[in-house]
Amino acid sequence: MAHVDIYPTSLRLLGRAVLVVGGGEHAARRAKGLLDAGALVTVVAPALSAPLAALHVAGLLSWEPRPYRSSDVDGVWFVHAATGHRSVDAQVAADAEAARLWCVNASDTAASSAWMPAVAVVDDVKIAVNAGGDSRRAQALRNAVATALESGSLPLRRSRRDPLVELGATAARDPLVELVETRERLGSETPAPLPAAGSVALVGGGPGDAGLITVRGRRLLAEADVVVVDRLGPRSLLAELDEDVRIIEVGKTPGHHPVPQEEINQILVREAQAGHRVVRLKGGDPYILGRGGEEAIHCREHGVEVEVVPGVTSAVSVPAAAGIPLTHRGLAKAFTLISGHEDLDQVPAGSDHTVVILMGIGTLNQSVKTLAAAGRGVDCPVAIIENGYAPNQRVTIGTLGTIAAQAAAVRVANPAVVVVGDVVRVSPLAPPELATGHYGTKPKTLTHP
């Protein structure tokens, strides 16, 4: 069968009678899909597989426990032949053809008047792929498209246009009206649709590299109507958004907060209450020195649904960009994360306990003095990593006794992460007088007497 013979379409089977001939596993999968579409399914088969039997016992489909008869196609809208016997399936297909019914013949794709595509569902998007009768190829393509949608690399954002306005006054009837009337005929009721409710997602974007945002965060960003964005984080992703996605800048720099946190909270609630999908895109992780907790509480207090998507915090990822592990066998078993604006004299002493300081450049002179006096000494290694993962990343390594002068000489600036402790010695960028590549990790050499 040539590709040009196929006319892709979608069938609306809600409340319509369909016939499945066959009781095996394949028939069970097709019956389940038809039930999901709202069809009234009748199965004709001498016996049922366990999955089909479960659907029958649950009252979800009808079962005729006997061989197929030509009269079974009378009065149905769609037929699926899946007995596993070519002659029986061919007879079902011939009877359906005579009755001018579309029929899927599972035993003979080339002779089938209808094909079953490989199907996946992502939110309210249904993906259906045909590949010239090659089911494995169709499944592989379906999986690739579904993965791209789930990761946000393909658009999932809903259009907010009114379908009735687009179709015009002469268009077909509203599908929702048809759905309600059909279910009423079937003896069930469908509640009236509620106005669309907005939501807020606090998304941690990681240290700035677009490849380090989570799959969930990328997908929510692709679905957003409004993005409230910080100065840091994966800003390059903003260029991929639809032109009508509103971007609200609320970025802060040290000592300059043009949009106060209280106003940011109000923006999130206001936009969500207007029915928008709002993404609050932050650098790092929303709950690590990112005030995400305050934003989440404010949203919930105002009845706004809020989701928190963790991010790769710069406290861990940026040291890794310089080859510095925060814990390392034989060097450090724990670390403390702290803001440069906090008191450092209570941090556990000893260079075997790593200290990570965020927003610490402005207070660096005082911080190094405090840490040196608290038990680490002036020889404790220190690293400052600026613009982690960016093309202009720069690493400055010294000690508590030298790092302040080094930072001043090269004009170190935010955004930067300061790492204090012996783990700095592991960095491939450490100078020879500080470096160690194997401290505590070399296997012991066996000696024989």
User: Where does residue 323 fall: left (phi above 0), alpha (psi -120 to 50 degrees), or beta otherwise?
Assistant: left
Dihedral of CA 428/434/435/441: which sign?
Answer: negative
Instruction: Return the CA Rg of the chain.
Output: 31
Length of the chain in terms of residues written: 449
Q: Which of 210, 197, 204, 201 has its CA nearest to residue 279?
A: 201
Catalytic residue among 230, 282, 285, 422: 230
Name the strands in the sheet holding 381-386, side by side, starting at the edge strand that comes first in the sequence: 334-339, 353-358, 416-420, 381-386, 394-399
Q: Which of 220, 183, 187 has its CA nearest to residue 203?
A: 220
Six token digits for residue 224: 């957003």
Establish whether 124 is a catalytic residue: no
Cβ atoms 306, 200 nearer than 8 A: yes
Catalytic residue among 32, 209, 252, 352: 252
- Buried (b) or exposed (e) across 68-94, using 16+ Cβ within 10 A? beeebbeebbbbbbbbeeeebbebbbb
Six token digits for residue 337: 């994360």
Please list the active-site residues: 230, 252
